[in-house]
Amino acid sequence: MVYTDVTEMKQREAELAQNTKLLEIALEKEVELSSMKSNFVATASHEFRTPLTTIFSAADLLHHYSDHMDDGRKRIYLEEIKQEVSAMTRLLDDILLVRKLEAGMFSFNPEKADLESLLRNLVRAAQNIAGNNHAIRLKITCDSPSILIDHSLMRHIVNNLLSNAMKYSADGKPIDVTFARRDGELILDVADHGIGIPEYEINRILDTFFRAENSSAIGGTALGLSVVKTAIELHGRKISVDSTVDKRTIFTVSIPDIPA
Ligand code: ADP
Mean pLDDT of the chain: 86
What is the distance in A from the centroid of ligand 1 to the CA of 77?
Answer: 28
Which of the four pLDDT bands, split at 50, 70 and 90, describes residue 112?
confident
205 lines ligand 1 (CB under 6 A): yes
Would the pLDDT of 69 be above 80? yes
What is the pLDDT averaged over residues 99-126? 83
What is the distance in A from the centroid of ligand 1 to the CA of 164?
Answer: 6
Task: Please give the number of the atom of ligand 1 that sits closest to the Cα of 222.
Answer: 8
Q: What is the 3-state secondary structure (H, E, C) of 51-68?
A: HHHHHHHHHHHHHHHHHH
Would the pLDDT of 240 be above 90? yes
Highest averaged pLDDT of the listed ranges 4-13, 27-36, 102-111, 188-197 = 188-197
Would the pLDDT of 1 be above 70? no
Top pLDDT among 254 and 209 is at: 254
Total Cβ atoms within 10 A of residue 99: 11
Would the pLDDT of 2 be above 60? no
Cβ(156)–Cβ(207) under 8 Å? no
What is the distance in A from the centroid of ligand 1 to the CA of 36?
Answer: 15
pLDDT for 207 equals 84
Nearest to 196 by CA among 248, 242, 154: 248
> Over the stretch 71-107, which tens digit does the pLDDT of each residue have?
999 999 998 998 889 888 878 887 887 777 767 777 7
What is the distance in A from the centroid of ligand 1 to the CA of 176?
Answer: 17
Burial tier of 86 (Cβ tally within 10 Å: 0-12, 13-18, 19+):
middle
Would the pLDDT of 140 be above 70? yes
Cβ(162)–Cβ(230) under 8 Å? no
Q: What percent of the chain has pLDDT over 90?
A: 40
Nearest to 224 by CA among 212, 207, 199: 207
Top pLDDT among 2 and 203 is at: 203
Would the pLDDT of 37 be above 80? no
211 lines ligand 1 (CB under 6 A): yes
94 lines ligand 1 (CB under 6 A): no
pLDDT for 175 equals 97
Query: Atom 11 of ligand 1 has which residue's CA nearest to it?
Result: 211
> Over the stretch 203-218, which tens digit does the pLDDT of each residue have?
999 887 789 999 988 8
